[in-house]
Amino acid sequence: MTQQHEQSFRLVNQSLGQQPTLGPLPANLLAPSGIILVLAYFLTQILLHLGFAVFMVVSAWGISSWWIVVGEKTWKFTNKFVAVPDWKRGHVRYTRCLNHDDN
């Protein structure tokens, strides 16, 4: 009876319900981290001609700042910058959909 009881349970994937990560970085921070890396490279290497160590410090500072500000729930921070629809008040001349003859 114990064998039948053990076979009634199924193994479940333990990663279900967890947030995907790439090492210590959550997956939802990969795109912003890439953008920060490109901007840090452009700023330190191309514009200011500083060394690789400065590039690493600036990119680590930018990525860690973004991670601290945004946290695990990126949408809570980034949705604040979505443009809200602009409603205008206007007057339109009324036209009938169906024309009725007075005859």
The per-residue pLDDT for 101 is 65
Q: What is the pLDDT of residues 29-78, one digit of tens each?
A: 888 899 999 999 999 999 999 999 999 999 999 999 998 888 777 778 88
Q: What is the pTM of this model?
A: 0.61
What's the farthest any 2 CA atoms get from each other in the chain? 90
Other beta carbons within 10 Å of 75: 9
